[in-house]
Chain A
């Protein structure tokens, strides 16, 4: 393995599943999604309400409350070398050298053990020997295989945990974090900006007080130094007269100012990744323009990676580099932003784009009939099929998985039985069937 380069993803989400267990049913709000975010890039997530966008963000932040939890088999790897080094030196008990583990165990033997109900197919591989050990461990199967301890969360793949400064590669598995390592990750490495600035600020504390809280927790600054840091942060996000503002309460700020203050708070600990959950939805267009400009400036200044959630296609077009379209807990299409808007392949993405007023020539707006279903069972068919204008018989029996839309279009995937388009429909359906069988570890038919 080599030293991480700038094109390597900083966050690698694999097969993330988050479900809410209610008395009536199990709601699979996020149902096996995979995507990555590279350093300095903005990845957009778009979809209608109820498609699982916010739950994805909350799963990454570890903010999913009971009765919801992230299921085993999910993996969110944070591939930031400095973080791995820091964690390895701070939490040596929770750090594992995967090279040593790999030397002791043989992956093929692991799958043969009777205690584990697991197939190589679950990791998208044909043979047991091909499954990387890191994936098995990250997905949470390491514990019962006796490979790692329950609270291990830092995995070193190149270098030795004994000398943290010389680690060359590794990752922190976010789904396995708890206690102090989780607190350091949340806010310190990954920060979040919420939709409504009025509810994410506490009305009984001054804005300065709330910014100082995270400065105190993560940077250890106190008193005058913390106040100065808070003032500097407010200035950095474009709030004039910060010295006065720092002692004011949220109700004395306007909506745009509040969102700026929330962004200042998120930036207080210099995170690597900023998750923005509909940060401009509650704002007017002129203020939205200011906030989008601010985010773009901050990103360029600090080399931030961003995950940007919104339902506004205009905002997505403006701010993101790559886009994931979500529908009923699944990612149905992933593409570069230009390609997604010029050449959408999934019928749902097309429908979304066509229903924007002003985007079509005709007098009447195109609509998508019906509603977003609640995903309460593992998918055995296409969840969009009941609303899809192109649905055919197989859509009700085969669950589509994300595949390249065309030969050579590796960066553009869609979960539709009509893709890949260079193959005949029957071939394509076959491919989906096979991939599905692998994904679930059994035949779906």
Chain B
């Protein structure tokens, strides 16, 4: 096909040997994508992707899972240069695409396409199916208009639709068929790499199965490489060769699918896997229910991103004997303090506080009563709590948090962990527990939640 010619800028670069084995298609190193505040004073950026590194091998399916807001979609979009990377490199066959611009970028994009989550909003309702699928061909001026029409019809065949559908409009199709149209459009330029952003989340389970089968068939037929973004772990388990688990802009664990699902190394993966409801009512599992919600990516924790919710957080040695429930309450207290620190206090609140009326914040006593009223608090913990209470009463939450961290913090809160190799198969985990100093995650979870 003629587009081999236009491949040139990249094709010449691929001849340059890369530093790793030739099997690798995409190398991502220290990638960061921040959303800056557009305001005059700037302020803190939202750290959607905060330093990730991984490889994608040719022909494989890499799964990317995580909760909403963890940055998985942003990562996918950055890989396709739909978002500008703040820092780091994305080497696609050896070329750093973050530096590409203008015509080079336009040409490169033939190679990498995306399927979006919601088939209701990713197709233009005013265009016929033919026009939608043909658009990428038109944009890249692929051969003659006649050949384009022919190609579109072939594509409709490929994804399991009929050629007559060319002249129909999107509203005449069901969700599953619309997703097929979306996939046909993606394949129009014969890309090597496709980002699938939750392609089946909006579909019913039986339709979902059809689309998954189709994706697998297409991969075999055209030798595609997929980045499969999803929050449904059972789909990922079925489809992917390797999985990366993301939390708050960081990859917490990456490894071969089977190994990661049967023997997760990171506490977050443990919790995520145990939270999936099994379609089998007889299964009795010890579910690890995580407390609270992920932190605001504008204010990520200083240490490990997962430290605020971690079920296996390292606790300071002097408080190791405290009750688990008391630890939960202490964590809630810290969350409350940091939330209050950021909550804006209106003039009305300040006035009410001055004249001694109830403010919407409630008093520290009420909070303490709610949190620790039914707990046995040892004296040494109580003395720290008293100190925090004094500070919180004066609305010095920042200082109160500092006191809290001084007493109850640990390496998890202070230092970001490093990636540790868990096995030989490229299975890595981002957690302090993998150093020899501390007990293993499995043992701790068994102990605390077993």
Contact = CB atoms under 8 A, between A and B. Distances in A.
Interface of A: 48-49, 235, 240-244, 246-247, 254-257, 284-290, 292-293, 311-318, 337-338, 341-342, 351-353, 355-359, 364-368, 371
B277 A290 contact: no
Interface of B: 67-68, 174, 176, 204-210, 212-213, 216, 231, 233-235, 237-239, 271-272, 274-283, 287, 289-291, 293, 332, 335-336, 339-340, 343, 360-362, 366-367, 370-371
Contact of A285 (B239, B276, B343): B276
A285 B216 contact: no
22 contacts: A235-B370, A240-B332, A241-B340, A243-B360, A243-B361, A244-B360, A247-B360, A284-B231, A289-B274, A293-B289, A313-B205, A316-B279, A317-B278, A355-B206, A355-B209, A358-B237, A359-B279, A364-B213, A364-B216, A365-B209, A365-B212, A371-B174
Contacts of A351: 206
Contacts of B361: 243-244
B366 A243 contact: yes
B239 A240 contact: no
A290 B339 CA distance: 20
B336 A314 contact: no
A244 B343 contact: yes
A254 to B, nearest CB: 5
> Which residue, B68, B332, B340, has most C-beta atoms of chain A within 10 A?
B68
A293 B289 CA distance: 9
B277 A286 contact: no
A368 B204 CA distance: 11
Given A285-B67, A318-B277, A318-B281, A357 B209 contact: yes
Contacts of B335: 240
Main secondary structure of the interface of B (DSSP, over half): helix
Contacts of A357: 208-209, 212, 234-235, 237-239
Contacts of A241: 336, 339-340, 362, 367
Contacts of B233: 285
A286 B174 contact: no
Contact of B279 (A254, A314, A367): A314
A409 B277 CA distance: 28
A342 B77 CA distance: 42
Contacts of B210: 365, 367
A367 B360 CA distance: 54
Contact of B67 (A284, A314, A352): A284
B289 A338 contact: no
A292 B285 CA distance: 14
A426 to B, nearest CB: 31
B277 A315 contact: yes
B425 to A, nearest CB: 21
B279 A317 contact: yes
A90 B332 CA distance: 46
B392 to A, nearest CB: 12
Given A285-B67, A314-B234, A318-B278, 20 more contacts: A48-B207, A235-B370, A241-B336, A241-B367, A243-B360, A255-B293, A286-B271, A288-B277, A290-B290, A316-B279, A338-B281, A341-B282, A351-B206, A356-B205, A357-B209, A357-B234, A357-B237, A357-B239, A365-B213, A365-B238
Contacts of B207: 48, 367
Contacts of A244: 340, 343, 360-362
B234 A358 contact: yes
User: Which 3 A-B pairs have CB atoms at the shortest separation, nearest pair first?
Assistant: A314-B277, A243-B362, A357-B238
Contacts of B279: 313-314, 316-317, 341, 353, 356, 359
A356 B272 CA distance: 19
Nearest to B261: A358
Contacts of A364: 213, 216
Nearest to A337: B281
A315 B332 CA distance: 27
Contacts of A341: 279-282
A315 B237 CA distance: 18
A129 B238 CA distance: 58
A323 B206 CA distance: 19
Contacts of A317: 277-281, 283
Nearest to A365: B209
A368 B206 contact: yes
Contacts of B204: 48-49, 311
B275 A286 contact: yes
Nearest to B278: A314
B400 to A, nearest CB: 14
A355 to B, nearest CB: 4
B286 to A, nearest CB: 12
A290 B289 contact: yes
B281 A286 contact: no
A293 to B, nearest CB: 6
Nearest to B216: A364
A256 B293 contact: yes
A355 B289 contact: no
> Which residue, B209, B238, B239, has most C-beta atoms of chain A within 10 A?
B209
A433 to B, nearest CB: 29
A48 B293 contact: no
A337 B68 CA distance: 30
Given A357-B235, A365-B209, A365-B238, A289 B280 contact: no
A184 to B, nearest CB: 32
Contacts of B362: 241, 243-244
Contacts of A255: 68, 293
Contact of A352 (B68, B205, B213, B282): B205
A268 to B, nearest CB: 20
Given A241-B336, A244-B360, A357-B237, A289 B289 contact: yes
A351 B41 CA distance: 57
A270 to B, nearest CB: 22
A229 to B, nearest CB: 16
Contacts of A235: 370
Nearest to A247: B360
B277 A292 contact: yes
Given A241-B367, A243-B362, A365-B212, A288 B238 contact: no
A335 B238 CA distance: 29
A247 B343 CA distance: 12
Contacts of B340: 241, 244
A120 B430 CA distance: 70
B277 A366 contact: no
B281 A356 contact: no
B359 to A, nearest CB: 9
Contacts of B287: 289, 293
Nearest to A293: B289
Contacts of A314: 234, 276-279
Nearest to B335: A240
A244 B340 CA distance: 9
Nearest to B70: A284
A224 to B, nearest CB: 10
